[in-house]
Structure 1
Amino acid sequence: MSRIAPLNMADHGALCFDRNAAGATRQIVQLGLSEIAFAAADMPLCLAKDANTGRFDLIALLGLVEPTNLFSFGGHFQATYIPRAALLTGFRLDPNGAAGLAVDVADPTIGTDGEPLFADGRPAPLLGHLHQALEQVMADIAAARTLIARYAAKRLVRPLILSVRKADGRDHDIAGLYTIDEPAMRALPDDEVVALHRADALAPSTILSASLAQIERLRQLHNARFEPAISSCSIG
Protein backbone atom coordinates (compact mmCIF):
# COMPACT_ATOMS: atom_id res chain seq x y z
CA MET A 1 0.00 0.00 0.00
CA SER A 2 1.18 3.47 -0.84
CA ARG A 3 2.30 5.66 2.06
CA ILE A 4 2.92 9.05 0.48
CA ALA A 5 3.96 12.03 2.57
CA PRO A 6 5.82 15.31 2.01
CA LEU A 7 9.53 14.55 2.09
CA ASN A 8 11.20 15.80 5.27
CA MET A 9 14.38 15.27 7.22
CA ALA A 10 12.67 14.23 10.46
CA ASP A 11 10.78 11.29 8.98
CA HIS A 12 12.90 10.39 5.97
CA GLY A 13 16.43 11.45 6.84
CA ALA A 14 17.77 7.87 6.79
CA LEU A 15 16.13 6.81 3.53
CA CYS A 16 17.89 6.05 0.26
CA PHE A 17 16.91 5.73 -3.38
CA ASP A 18 17.77 2.39 -4.99
CA ARG A 19 17.37 2.75 -8.75
CA ASN A 20 18.10 -0.97 -9.20
CA ALA A 21 14.68 -1.73 -7.70
CA ALA A 22 12.85 0.47 -10.22
CA GLY A 23 9.42 -0.81 -11.18
CA ALA A 24 9.92 -4.14 -9.40
CA THR A 25 6.22 -4.59 -8.60
CA ARG A 26 4.78 -2.89 -11.71
CA GLN A 27 2.93 -4.85 -14.37
CA ILE A 28 2.47 -1.70 -16.44
CA VAL A 29 4.17 1.69 -16.50
CA GLN A 30 3.26 4.91 -18.24
CA LEU A 31 5.41 6.19 -21.08
CA GLY A 32 6.17 9.61 -22.46
CA LEU A 33 6.10 10.47 -26.14
CA SER A 34 9.89 10.56 -26.49
CA GLU A 35 10.25 7.03 -25.06
CA ILE A 36 8.27 5.13 -27.68
CA ALA A 37 11.14 3.95 -29.89
CA PHE A 38 13.39 3.12 -26.92
CA ALA A 39 10.84 1.13 -24.92
CA ALA A 40 9.64 -0.80 -27.99
CA ALA A 41 13.07 -2.42 -28.20
CA ASP A 42 12.10 -4.51 -25.15
CA MET A 43 8.42 -4.17 -24.30
CA PRO A 44 5.00 -4.33 -25.89
CA LEU A 45 3.44 -0.87 -25.93
CA CYS A 46 -0.29 -0.53 -25.45
CA LEU A 47 -2.94 1.97 -24.46
CA ALA A 48 -5.04 1.93 -21.30
CA LYS A 49 -7.93 4.11 -20.21
CA ASP A 50 -7.58 6.27 -17.13
CA ALA A 51 -10.37 5.13 -14.80
CA ASN A 52 -11.10 8.67 -13.65
CA THR A 53 -10.91 10.66 -16.89
CA GLY A 54 -11.58 8.07 -19.60
CA ARG A 55 -8.62 9.34 -21.60
CA PHE A 56 -6.04 6.99 -23.04
CA ASP A 57 -2.57 6.66 -21.57
CA LEU A 58 0.42 5.17 -23.34
CA ILE A 59 1.86 2.27 -21.35
CA ALA A 60 4.56 -0.37 -21.52
CA LEU A 61 3.42 -3.85 -20.53
CA LEU A 62 5.96 -5.36 -18.12
CA GLY A 63 4.13 -8.53 -17.09
CA LEU A 64 1.43 -10.96 -18.19
CA VAL A 65 -0.09 -13.08 -15.41
CA GLU A 66 1.63 -12.22 -12.16
CA PRO A 67 1.28 -8.59 -10.95
CA THR A 68 5.01 -8.10 -11.25
CA ASN A 69 7.66 -6.73 -13.57
CA LEU A 70 9.14 -9.62 -15.55
CA PHE A 71 12.18 -7.48 -16.41
CA SER A 72 13.05 -7.02 -12.73
CA PHE A 73 15.19 -9.86 -11.38
CA GLY A 74 18.66 -10.45 -10.05
CA GLY A 75 18.54 -7.07 -8.32
CA HIS A 76 18.32 -5.10 -11.57
CA PHE A 77 15.95 -3.99 -14.33
CA GLN A 78 17.01 -6.41 -17.07
CA ALA A 79 16.18 -4.44 -20.20
CA THR A 80 18.03 -2.19 -22.59
CA TYR A 81 15.75 0.69 -21.58
CA ILE A 82 14.11 1.59 -18.26
CA PRO A 83 10.98 3.72 -18.65
CA ARG A 84 11.55 6.96 -16.78
CA ALA A 85 8.29 6.72 -14.86
CA ALA A 86 9.40 3.34 -13.48
CA LEU A 87 12.43 5.04 -11.93
CA LEU A 88 10.29 7.69 -10.27
CA THR A 89 7.39 5.74 -8.77
CA GLY A 90 8.65 6.48 -5.26
CA PHE A 91 8.25 10.25 -5.64
CA ARG A 92 5.61 12.88 -6.37
CA LEU A 93 5.82 16.63 -6.83
CA ASP A 94 4.74 18.36 -3.62
CA PRO A 95 5.50 22.00 -2.76
CA ASN A 96 5.30 21.13 0.95
CA GLY A 97 8.15 18.62 0.81
CA ALA A 98 11.92 18.97 0.75
CA ALA A 99 13.09 19.81 -2.80
CA GLY A 100 9.41 20.07 -3.72
CA LEU A 101 8.85 16.32 -3.38
CA ALA A 102 6.69 13.80 -1.59
CA VAL A 103 7.92 10.25 -1.04
CA ASP A 104 6.17 6.88 -1.04
CA VAL A 105 8.00 4.90 1.62
CA ALA A 106 6.31 1.68 0.47
CA ASP A 107 7.86 1.90 -3.00
CA PRO A 108 10.59 -0.70 -3.72
CA THR A 109 13.11 2.01 -4.63
CA ILE A 110 12.86 3.62 -1.19
CA GLY A 111 14.72 2.03 1.71
CA THR A 112 18.16 1.60 3.24
CA ASP A 113 20.05 0.75 0.03
CA GLY A 114 21.18 3.15 -2.67
CA GLU A 115 21.77 6.89 -2.76
CA PRO A 116 20.89 8.89 0.41
CA LEU A 117 18.04 11.38 0.12
CA PHE A 118 19.63 13.64 2.71
CA ALA A 119 23.27 14.48 3.48
CA ASP A 120 24.56 16.44 6.47
CA GLY A 121 21.03 17.28 7.50
CA ARG A 122 20.12 18.80 4.13
CA PRO A 123 18.46 17.52 0.94
CA ALA A 124 21.04 15.72 -1.18
CA PRO A 125 21.66 17.02 -4.73
CA LEU A 126 19.93 13.84 -5.92
CA LEU A 127 16.57 15.30 -4.91
CA GLY A 128 16.95 18.27 -7.23
CA HIS A 129 17.66 15.89 -10.10
CA LEU A 130 14.60 13.79 -9.20
CA HIS A 131 12.38 16.87 -9.08
CA GLN A 132 13.55 17.94 -12.53
CA ALA A 133 13.11 14.42 -13.90
CA LEU A 134 9.54 14.28 -12.57
CA GLU A 135 8.65 17.55 -14.26
CA GLN A 136 10.13 16.32 -17.53
CA VAL A 137 8.41 12.95 -17.49
CA MET A 138 5.04 14.52 -16.64
CA ALA A 139 5.37 16.86 -19.62
CA ASP A 140 6.38 13.91 -21.83
CA ILE A 141 3.40 11.85 -20.64
CA ALA A 142 1.12 14.79 -21.42
CA ALA A 143 2.58 14.90 -24.95
CA ALA A 144 1.86 11.17 -25.34
CA ARG A 145 -1.74 11.74 -24.22
CA THR A 146 -2.13 14.45 -26.84
CA LEU A 147 -0.89 12.08 -29.54
CA ILE A 148 -3.18 9.24 -28.45
CA ALA A 149 -6.13 11.63 -28.21
CA ARG A 150 -5.47 12.49 -31.87
CA TYR A 151 -5.66 8.81 -32.80
CA ALA A 152 -8.83 8.35 -30.74
CA ALA A 153 -10.50 11.36 -32.38
CA LYS A 154 -9.93 9.71 -35.77
CA ARG A 155 -11.23 6.35 -34.46
CA LEU A 156 -7.82 4.73 -34.84
CA VAL A 157 -7.89 3.01 -31.44
CA ARG A 158 -9.40 -0.43 -30.79
CA PRO A 159 -9.53 -2.86 -27.86
CA LEU A 160 -6.62 -5.28 -27.67
CA ILE A 161 -7.68 -8.85 -27.00
CA LEU A 162 -4.77 -10.56 -25.26
CA SER A 163 -5.11 -14.06 -23.87
CA VAL A 164 -2.50 -16.46 -22.55
CA ARG A 165 -2.80 -20.23 -22.25
CA LYS A 166 -0.91 -21.92 -19.44
CA ALA A 167 0.68 -25.34 -19.68
CA ASP A 168 -1.97 -26.68 -17.26
CA GLY A 169 -4.66 -25.84 -19.82
CA ARG A 170 -6.04 -22.73 -18.11
CA ASP A 171 -6.59 -19.52 -20.04
CA HIS A 172 -6.01 -16.04 -18.68
CA ASP A 173 -7.36 -12.93 -20.39
CA ILE A 174 -5.59 -9.59 -19.89
CA ALA A 175 -8.33 -7.00 -20.06
CA GLY A 176 -8.41 -3.24 -20.38
CA LEU A 177 -5.79 -2.79 -23.08
CA TYR A 178 -6.08 -0.99 -26.41
CA THR A 179 -3.95 -0.64 -29.51
CA ILE A 180 -3.84 1.04 -32.91
CA ASP A 181 -6.56 -0.06 -35.36
CA GLU A 182 -4.36 -0.83 -38.36
CA PRO A 183 -7.21 -1.44 -40.86
CA ALA A 184 -8.73 1.91 -39.86
CA MET A 185 -5.33 3.54 -40.33
CA ARG A 186 -4.98 2.04 -43.82
CA ALA A 187 -8.48 3.25 -44.72
CA LEU A 188 -7.68 6.89 -44.00
CA PRO A 189 -7.82 9.27 -46.96
CA ASP A 190 -4.41 10.19 -48.34
CA ASP A 191 -4.61 13.78 -47.12
CA GLU A 192 -5.21 12.62 -43.54
CA VAL A 193 -2.25 10.22 -43.72
CA VAL A 194 -0.04 13.06 -44.94
CA ALA A 195 -1.33 15.28 -42.12
CA LEU A 196 -0.45 12.61 -39.56
CA HIS A 197 2.99 12.23 -41.08
CA ARG A 198 3.69 15.95 -41.01
CA ALA A 199 2.54 16.09 -37.40
CA ASP A 200 5.04 13.31 -36.52
CA ALA A 201 2.08 11.12 -35.59
CA LEU A 202 2.36 8.41 -38.24
CA ALA A 203 5.64 6.73 -37.28
CA PRO A 204 4.68 6.30 -33.59
CA SER A 205 1.55 4.39 -34.59
CA THR A 206 3.66 1.95 -36.61
CA ILE A 207 6.04 1.42 -33.70
CA LEU A 208 3.15 0.82 -31.29
CA SER A 209 1.70 -1.86 -33.55
CA ALA A 210 5.08 -3.52 -34.19
CA SER A 211 5.93 -3.59 -30.49
CA LEU A 212 3.20 -6.15 -29.82
CA ALA A 213 5.67 -8.76 -31.08
CA GLN A 214 7.43 -8.24 -27.72
CA ILE A 215 4.59 -10.14 -26.01
CA GLU A 216 6.58 -13.25 -26.95
CA ARG A 217 9.49 -11.77 -24.99
CA LEU A 218 7.24 -11.50 -21.93
CA ARG A 219 6.16 -15.11 -22.37
CA GLN A 220 9.80 -16.21 -22.41
CA LEU A 221 10.61 -14.17 -19.30
CA HIS A 222 7.58 -15.61 -17.48
CA ASN A 223 8.52 -19.18 -18.35
CA ALA A 224 12.08 -18.66 -17.11
CA ARG A 225 10.80 -17.77 -13.62
CA PHE A 226 7.27 -18.97 -12.98
CA GLU A 227 5.11 -22.08 -13.05
CA PRO A 228 2.93 -23.08 -14.72
CA ALA A 229 4.56 -22.02 -17.95
CA ILE A 230 2.66 -20.04 -20.57
CA SER A 231 2.38 -22.28 -23.61
CA SER A 232 0.96 -19.67 -25.99
CA CYS A 233 -0.33 -16.11 -26.30
CA SER A 234 -3.06 -14.99 -28.66
CA ILE A 235 -3.53 -11.40 -29.80
CA GLY A 236 -6.64 -10.08 -31.49
Structure 2
Amino acid sequence: MTFVTLDNVDHADLTVAVRAAPAFSDHVNLMPIVPAEFEEAQRELPIVFRRGEGGIRAFVLLGLDRGENLFVADGHWTTRYVPAIQRRGPFALGAGDAIEVDLNDPRVGAADGLPLFRDHGGDAPYLEHVRAALLMLREGAQHEQAIHADLAATGLLRDVTLRIDLGDAGGYEVGDVMAVDQAALAALSGGVLERLHANGLLRAATMAASSLGNVDRLIELKTLKEAR
Protein backbone atom coordinates (compact mmCIF):
# COMPACT_ATOMS: atom_id res chain seq x y z
CA MET A 1 0.00 0.00 0.00
CA THR A 2 1.16 3.51 -0.82
CA PHE A 3 -0.87 6.12 1.01
CA VAL A 4 -0.44 9.76 0.04
CA THR A 5 -2.32 12.84 1.19
CA LEU A 6 -4.96 13.95 -1.28
CA ASP A 7 -4.42 17.32 -2.90
CA ASN A 8 -6.93 19.05 -5.18
CA VAL A 9 -4.09 20.20 -7.44
CA ASP A 10 -1.92 17.10 -7.72
CA HIS A 11 -4.96 14.81 -7.78
CA ALA A 12 -7.43 17.06 -9.58
CA ASP A 13 -8.26 14.42 -12.19
CA LEU A 14 -8.00 11.35 -9.99
CA THR A 15 -10.96 8.97 -10.04
CA VAL A 16 -11.82 5.99 -7.82
CA ALA A 17 -14.18 3.17 -8.76
CA VAL A 18 -16.83 1.94 -6.34
CA ARG A 19 -16.59 -1.85 -6.45
CA ALA A 20 -17.22 -4.80 -4.17
CA ALA A 21 -14.95 -7.84 -4.43
CA PRO A 22 -13.03 -10.35 -2.30
CA ALA A 23 -9.87 -8.31 -2.85
CA PHE A 24 -11.52 -5.37 -1.09
CA SER A 25 -12.73 -7.44 1.90
CA ASP A 26 -16.40 -7.33 0.89
CA HIS A 27 -16.79 -11.13 0.87
CA VAL A 28 -17.04 -11.86 4.58
CA ASN A 29 -20.00 -13.19 6.52
CA LEU A 30 -19.44 -10.89 9.51
CA MET A 31 -18.48 -7.24 9.10
CA PRO A 32 -17.87 -4.79 11.97
CA ILE A 33 -20.02 -1.70 12.38
CA VAL A 34 -20.05 1.10 14.96
CA PRO A 35 -23.09 2.19 17.01
CA ALA A 36 -23.73 5.25 14.82
CA GLU A 37 -24.57 2.82 11.99
CA PHE A 38 -27.26 0.90 13.86
CA GLU A 39 -30.19 3.03 12.69
CA GLU A 40 -29.56 2.52 8.99
CA ALA A 41 -28.04 -0.96 9.18
CA GLN A 42 -30.93 -2.44 11.19
CA ARG A 43 -33.36 -1.80 8.34
CA GLU A 44 -31.69 -4.43 6.14
CA LEU A 45 -29.02 -6.36 8.05
CA PRO A 46 -28.99 -8.47 11.24
CA ILE A 47 -26.80 -6.98 14.00
CA VAL A 48 -24.95 -9.30 16.36
CA PHE A 49 -22.06 -8.88 18.80
CA ARG A 50 -18.85 -10.77 19.47
CA ARG A 51 -16.26 -10.76 22.23
CA GLY A 52 -12.65 -10.22 21.22
CA GLU A 53 -9.34 -9.28 22.76
CA GLY A 54 -10.29 -5.61 22.60
CA GLY A 55 -13.74 -6.12 24.10
CA ILE A 56 -17.18 -6.44 22.53
CA ARG A 57 -17.77 -5.34 18.95
CA ALA A 58 -20.92 -5.13 16.83
CA PHE A 59 -21.16 -6.86 13.46
CA VAL A 60 -23.67 -7.24 10.67
CA LEU A 61 -24.33 -10.82 9.61
CA LEU A 62 -23.96 -11.07 5.84
CA GLY A 63 -23.77 -14.80 5.15
CA LEU A 64 -23.88 -18.26 6.67
CA ASP A 65 -20.58 -19.61 5.38
CA ARG A 66 -17.15 -18.15 5.99
CA GLY A 67 -16.26 -15.70 3.24
CA GLU A 68 -19.88 -15.42 2.10
CA ASN A 69 -21.65 -12.10 1.58
CA LEU A 70 -25.17 -12.69 0.30
CA PHE A 71 -25.69 -8.95 -0.14
CA VAL A 72 -23.08 -8.53 -2.89
CA ALA A 73 -23.78 -9.38 -6.54
CA ASP A 74 -22.05 -8.46 -9.79
CA GLY A 75 -19.42 -6.40 -8.01
CA HIS A 76 -21.86 -4.23 -6.04
CA TRP A 77 -23.77 -4.27 -2.78
CA THR A 78 -27.50 -4.96 -3.22
CA THR A 79 -28.44 -3.19 0.02
CA ARG A 80 -29.27 0.48 0.33
CA TYR A 81 -26.89 0.67 3.29
CA VAL A 82 -23.23 -0.33 3.05
CA PRO A 83 -21.14 -0.48 6.26
CA ALA A 84 -18.81 2.48 6.74
CA ILE A 85 -15.74 0.24 6.84
CA GLN A 86 -16.43 -0.57 3.17
CA ARG A 87 -17.71 2.85 2.14
CA ARG A 88 -14.32 4.31 3.01
CA GLY A 89 -12.82 2.49 0.00
CA PRO A 90 -9.05 2.93 -0.49
CA PHE A 91 -8.90 5.94 1.83
CA ALA A 92 -7.72 6.67 5.38
CA LEU A 93 -7.62 9.63 7.73
CA GLY A 94 -4.22 11.20 8.23
CA ALA A 95 -2.91 13.98 10.44
CA GLY A 96 -5.26 16.89 10.89
CA ASP A 97 -8.15 14.93 9.36
CA ALA A 98 -6.45 15.02 5.96
CA ILE A 99 -7.66 12.25 3.68
CA GLU A 100 -5.07 9.85 2.32
CA VAL A 101 -5.50 7.52 -0.65
CA ASP A 102 -3.75 4.26 -1.47
CA LEU A 103 -2.40 4.82 -4.97
CA ASN A 104 -1.67 1.10 -5.37
CA ASP A 105 -5.32 0.12 -4.95
CA PRO A 106 -6.74 -1.11 -8.29
CA ARG A 107 -9.84 1.03 -7.84
CA VAL A 108 -7.74 4.20 -7.95
CA GLY A 109 -7.51 5.73 -11.42
CA ALA A 110 -10.07 3.33 -12.91
CA ALA A 111 -11.71 4.49 -16.12
CA ASP A 112 -15.17 3.94 -14.61
CA GLY A 113 -14.23 5.73 -11.39
CA LEU A 114 -15.90 8.70 -9.74
CA PRO A 115 -14.12 12.06 -9.52
CA LEU A 116 -12.75 13.16 -6.15
CA PHE A 117 -12.77 16.89 -6.83
CA ARG A 118 -15.05 19.36 -8.56
CA ASP A 119 -13.78 21.46 -11.44
CA HIS A 120 -13.25 24.43 -9.13
CA GLY A 121 -11.27 22.34 -6.65
CA GLY A 122 -13.84 21.56 -3.96
CA ASP A 123 -14.63 18.01 -2.80
CA ALA A 124 -16.87 16.05 -5.17
CA PRO A 125 -19.90 14.22 -3.68
CA TYR A 126 -18.05 10.90 -3.60
CA LEU A 127 -15.18 12.33 -1.56
CA GLU A 128 -17.66 13.97 0.83
CA HIS A 129 -19.27 10.55 1.22
CA VAL A 130 -15.89 8.97 1.99
CA ARG A 131 -14.98 11.67 4.49
CA ALA A 132 -18.25 11.10 6.38
CA ALA A 133 -17.54 7.35 6.56
CA LEU A 134 -13.99 7.90 7.82
CA LEU A 135 -15.11 10.34 10.52
CA MET A 136 -17.88 7.97 11.61
CA LEU A 137 -15.38 5.14 11.97
CA ARG A 138 -12.99 7.25 14.00
CA GLU A 139 -15.73 8.49 16.30
CA GLY A 140 -17.11 4.99 16.66
CA ALA A 141 -13.72 3.54 17.57
CA GLN A 142 -13.49 6.00 20.46
CA HIS A 143 -16.80 4.99 22.06
CA GLU A 144 -17.94 1.57 20.83
CA GLN A 145 -16.22 -0.50 23.52
CA ALA A 146 -17.77 1.48 26.36
CA ILE A 147 -21.22 1.36 24.73
CA HIS A 148 -21.16 -2.38 24.12
CA ALA A 149 -19.71 -3.10 27.57
CA ASP A 150 -22.56 -1.10 29.11
CA LEU A 151 -25.13 -3.10 27.16
CA ALA A 152 -23.55 -6.32 28.42
CA ALA A 153 -23.31 -5.07 32.00
CA THR A 154 -27.03 -4.29 32.10
CA GLY A 155 -27.85 -7.83 30.98
CA LEU A 156 -29.08 -6.88 27.52
CA LEU A 157 -26.56 -8.99 25.60
CA ARG A 158 -26.72 -12.76 25.77
CA ASP A 159 -24.74 -15.52 24.11
CA VAL A 160 -26.78 -17.13 21.36
CA THR A 161 -26.50 -19.74 18.64
CA LEU A 162 -28.54 -18.78 15.61
CA ARG A 163 -30.06 -21.96 14.18
CA ILE A 164 -31.17 -21.57 10.59
CA ASP A 165 -33.20 -24.21 8.79
CA LEU A 166 -33.02 -24.25 4.99
CA GLY A 167 -35.29 -27.25 4.57
CA ASP A 168 -33.98 -29.71 2.01
CA ALA A 169 -30.82 -27.63 1.65
CA GLY A 170 -29.88 -28.41 5.26
CA GLY A 171 -29.27 -26.14 8.21
CA TYR A 172 -26.71 -23.81 9.72
CA GLU A 173 -25.64 -22.78 13.18
CA VAL A 174 -24.05 -19.38 13.74
CA GLY A 175 -22.33 -19.51 17.12
CA ASP A 176 -19.88 -17.46 19.13
CA VAL A 177 -22.13 -14.42 18.88
CA MET A 178 -24.29 -12.37 21.21
CA ALA A 179 -27.60 -10.68 20.55
CA VAL A 180 -29.83 -8.25 22.41
CA ASP A 181 -32.13 -10.21 24.73
CA GLN A 182 -35.61 -8.92 23.90
CA ALA A 183 -37.07 -10.25 27.15
CA ALA A 184 -34.41 -8.41 29.17
CA LEU A 185 -35.03 -5.30 27.09
CA ALA A 186 -38.76 -5.41 27.81
CA ALA A 187 -38.13 -5.97 31.53
CA LEU A 188 -36.01 -2.84 32.01
CA SER A 189 -37.40 -0.48 34.63
CA GLY A 190 -36.53 2.20 37.12
CA GLY A 191 -33.15 3.89 37.17
CA VAL A 192 -31.53 1.55 34.66
CA LEU A 193 -34.26 2.24 32.10
CA GLU A 194 -34.01 5.98 32.67
CA ARG A 195 -30.22 5.95 32.34
CA LEU A 196 -30.22 3.93 29.13
CA HIS A 197 -32.90 6.16 27.67
CA ALA A 198 -30.98 9.30 28.60
CA ASN A 199 -27.66 8.18 27.11
CA GLY A 200 -29.15 6.72 23.93
CA LEU A 201 -28.28 3.10 24.67
CA LEU A 202 -31.93 2.08 24.94
CA ARG A 203 -32.49 3.18 21.35
CA ALA A 204 -29.34 1.41 20.18
CA ALA A 205 -30.38 -1.81 21.92
CA THR A 206 -33.89 -1.61 20.48
CA MET A 207 -32.55 -1.17 16.95
CA ALA A 208 -30.11 -4.08 17.35
CA ALA A 209 -32.93 -6.28 18.63
CA SER A 210 -35.29 -5.39 15.79
CA SER A 211 -32.54 -6.03 13.22
CA LEU A 212 -32.71 -9.77 13.88
CA GLY A 213 -35.88 -9.86 11.81
CA ASN A 214 -33.59 -9.50 8.81
CA VAL A 215 -32.37 -13.07 9.32
CA ASP A 216 -35.42 -14.06 7.28
CA ARG A 217 -34.00 -12.14 4.31
CA LEU A 218 -30.66 -13.87 4.84
CA ILE A 219 -32.41 -17.24 4.70
CA GLU A 220 -34.24 -16.23 1.53
CA LEU A 221 -31.00 -15.21 -0.20
CA LYS A 222 -29.18 -18.35 0.94
CA THR A 223 -32.03 -20.57 -0.27
CA LEU A 224 -31.97 -18.88 -3.68
CA LYS A 225 -28.21 -19.34 -3.88
CA GLU A 226 -28.38 -23.03 -3.00
CA ALA A 227 -31.13 -23.59 -5.57
CA ARG A 228 -28.99 -22.35 -8.47
With normalisation by structure 1, the TM-score equals 0.72
Q: How does 1:19-168 map to 2 (within 5 A)?
A: 19-21=18-20, 24-49=26-51, 51-53=52-54, 55-65=55-65, 67-94=67-94, 100-101=99-100, 103=102, 112=110, 113-115=112-114, 125=123, 129=128, 130=130, 133-168=133-168
How far apart are 1:212 and its partner, in Å? 0.4
**Alignment check: 8 A CA contact 2:159 2:179 kept:** yes
2: CA distance, partners of 1:52 / 1:94 = 26
Give, in whole Å, the separation in 2 of the partners of 1:223 and 1:168. 10
SS at match of 2:64: coil
Give yes or no for the alignment of 1:6 onto 2:3.
yes
Question: Aligned-pair distance for 1:44?
Answer: 0.7
Amino acid across the alignment from 1:103: D
Give distance in 2, aligned partners of 1:106 and 1:166.
Answer: 38
For 2:29, give the aligned amino acid.
Q
Q: Work out whether residues 159 and 178 of structure 1, in 8 Å CA contact, stay in contact via their aligned partners in 2.
A: yes
Q: For 1:114-162, what per-residue CA distance to the aligned partner results, in whole angstroms no more than 9, with x for missing partners?
A: 23679xxxxx956964456413322034334332121122232111211
Quote the sequence identity (%).
23
Distance change (3 Å), C-alpha of 1:142 and 1:61: farther
Q: Is the aligned partner of 1:17 residue 2:9? A: no
Tell me which amino acid in the other structure corresponds to 1:183.
Answer: A
CA apart distance, 1:209: 0.9
Unmatched runs of 5 consecutive residues or more in structure 1: 119-123, 230-236
- Give deviations 1:176-224, integer Å, cap 9, x for gaps: 2211123333444422112211222212211211110100111112223
Pair 25,33 (structure 1): closer, same or farther in 2 beyond 3 Å: same
**Alpha-carbon distance in structure 2 between the residues aligned to 1:202 and 1:187:** 12
Stretch moving more, 85-94 or 62-71:
85-94
What is the CA–CA distance in structure 2 between the aligned matches of 1:133 and 1:221, rounded to whole Å? 27
- Matched residue SS, 2:178: strand
Q: What CA distance in whole angstroms lies between the structure 1 residues aligned with 2:102 and 2:4?
A: 6
- Residue segments in structure 2 that go unaligned for 5+ positions in a row: none
Deviation at 1:52, TM superposition (A): 2.9
Secondary structure (helix, strand or coil) at the match of 1:146 reads: helix
